[in-house]
Amino acid sequence: MYTSNVSPRQDNVDVLVIGCGNAGLCAAITAAESCCSVMVVDAADKPMRGGNTRHTRNLRVMHESPTDILTDCYGLEEYFDDLMRVTAGATNRKLARLTLKNSSKLVSWLSARGVQFQPPLSGTLNLDRTNAFFLGGGRTMLNRLCRYAEQVNVQFSYQMPVRELLIADGTCRGARLDNGQIIEAGQYVIASGGFEANLEWLAEGWGAAARHFHVRGTRYNTGAVLKSLLDGGAQHVGSVDQCHAVAIDARAPRFDGGIASRIDGVPFGLVVNKHATRFYDEAEDFWPKRYAIWGRLVARQPDQIAFALLDADGVKRFMPSVFDPIEADTIEGLAVKLGLDPAATCDTVKRFNAACPEGPIDPSALDGKATSGLVPEKTNWAAPITTPPFTGYPLRPGITFTYMGVEVNDRAAIIMDDGCPARNLYAAGEVMAGNILGQGYLAGIGMTIGGVFGHIAGTSAAQSHVRS
Ligand SMILES: Cc1cc2nc3c(=O)[nH]c(=O)nc-3n(C[C@H](O)[C@H](O)[C@H](O)COP(=O)(O)OP(=O)(O)OC[C@H]3O[C@@H](n4cnc5c(N)ncnc54)[C@H](O)[C@@H]3O)c2cc1C
């Protein structure tokens, strides 16, 4: 209920956008271009604005023919099949198709507003056909959108965490800030990301394991606005334990470590838990298809810690993390440096080496060079760990974002418990991505969902403003 003895601020905006990431900016620009007065509030200060968007590199877009930044074509049906495969059907098909179809317009829409893209990427990521890469990365993309937004008179207010929304009967009357002030607007676009930085909330799904999670992105995505929406009667999608999480270097900072702390060496060595025991096939498939399961795997190990062990041949096969590798001339010495039991580690490596097949491995293919007689087996690229110096990386679960959010319709309107859309509340980006991505992940689709739904939310908010 809207009861407060704190006076509303006199902002008089048509549209209030909460969150200055990709989704919020796309919404704000769209509404401002439709002649609405728009304010964007963000919990972060200006240098840290833009949440997880700062860390991104690309978005996944449908296209029917080669372009200057994408090779070949990537049609709607192929994109849809890819999404169905990774989500195992946990998606709202109507909204998914809407997102994928509208993704075809994103590159030109963003380009027209100052965002620049790289020529098609070469190398081993194999994303040149499907993913458009931002020139200068997500930070530059974000700064360019902010600059454009200022040109169309969007106002920005930083260090303004929204604590709650004042919702009654499906209508939002104001956004209360942490300092008690209330901002009133005609329409509200919620683009405040997920709740991955709220370890207490994560513990509802993960139990005590959540205390060892590192948050790869912003500390500001605490889910305060999401919680307020759910308390205010918004319908939720997704479950509290669904998240994207990768294995990162345990030495990474608690927040904002970004992509440089990810450990990609798993398929070329072996991974043990704190008892020096292997627990999963390190080379089940190509790494881009498997890296996103390793955060959850490490989270299920004792004390949520694991260690990747490699030899001098293995370390040449992947891009190192930003941290120096921990090295030793013997496995025993490496175990000591990593805090593992030396005898148990030597035993695990010895048994692994003995189970490896003869001959070289071929990392360019699923080569079937599997161990034999181990539980679990390593099913590809099983090369013995024999060439010093030996290298180790300590691993922690690194959470990228959460999937639980609010349900929306094809106008990005938030659906309330009675099944009806809220009158003046719209959502875009990670806070509603669970409608499309119930589980799993498809590289680049996070930014696509935010861009497409940001645009839809901005359009809907502007249309509702004109009608009201
Ligand atoms: C390391 C990393 C790499 C990634 N790489 C990619 C990639 O290459 N491609 C891709 O598609 N996706 C990628 N993602 C996912 C991508 O970042 C998200 O899908 C996308 O940024 C979500 O955009 P958003 O606008 O919804 O949220 P965000 O960009 O996170 O923005 C949310 C904003 O809301 C603000 N906020 C939060 N709570 C409040 C509050 N209470 N009051 C006011 N403001 C608040 C935050 O400060 C933040 O600025 C990556 C994520 C990470 C962490």
Over residues 450-457, mean pLDDT: 98
pTM: 0.94
CATH code that applies to domain 245-398: 3.90.700.10
- Sign of the Cα torsion 93, 97, 99, 100 reads positive
Q: Is 228 in the pocket of ligand 1 (CB under 6 A)?
A: no
- Nearest atom (ligand 1) to Cα of 400: 53
| d(C-alpha 18, C-alpha 406), whole Å | 15
Q: Which tens digits make up the pLDDT trace of 329-367?
A: 999 999 999 999 999 999 999 999 999 999 999 998 999
The pLDDT of residue 252 is 97
Q: Is 19 in the pocket of ligand 1 (CB under 6 A)?
A: yes
Tokens describing residue 20: 């200055």
| d(C-alpha 94, C-alpha 444), whole Å | 20
Q: Which tens digits make up the pLDDT trace of 165-207?
A: 999 999 999 999 999 999 999 999 999 999 999 999 999 999 9
294 CA from centroid of ligand 1 (Å) = 21
pLDDT at 229 over 60: yes
Q: In 20-126, which ranges are continuous DSSP H helix?
A: 22-33, 76-87, 93-102, 106-111
Domain boundaries, the chain: 13-242+403-467, 245-398
CB 389 within 8 A of CB 327: yes
Q: Which tens digits make up the pLDDT trace of 376-413?
A: 999 999 999 999 999 999 999 999 999 999 999 999 99
Maximum Cα interatomic distance, the chain, rounded to a whole number of Å: 77
Q: Where are the beta strands (DSSP E) in 222-317?
A: 236-237, 243-249, 270-273, 306-310
By alpha-carbon position, which residue is closest to atom 6 of ligand 1? 56
Tokens describing residue 384: 């013995």
| d(C-alpha 379, C-alpha 178), whole Å | 52
- Nearest atom (ligand 1) to Cα of 161: 42
Q: Is 221 in the pocket of ligand 1 (CB under 6 A)?
A: yes
DSSP secondary structure string, 164-222?
Answer: EEEEETTEEEEEEETTS-EE-EEEEEE----STT-HHHHHHHHGGGGGGPEESS-TT--
Helix, strand, or coil (residue 236) = strand
Query: Which CATH code, of 3.40.50.300, 1.20.1260.10, 2.60.40.10, 3.50.50.60, is assigned to 13-242+403-467?
Result: 3.50.50.60
pLDDT at 125 over 80: no
The pLDDT of residue 288 is 79
Helix, strand, or coil (residue 228) = helix
Tokens describing residue 346: 């030597």
Q: Is 92 in the pocket of ligand 1 (CB under 6 A)?
A: no
466 CA from centroid of ligand 1 (Å) = 29
The pLDDT of residue 209 is 93
Using the CB atoms, write b or e for 213-243: b if 16+ within 10 Å: bbbbbbbbbbbbbbbbbbebbbebbbbbbbb
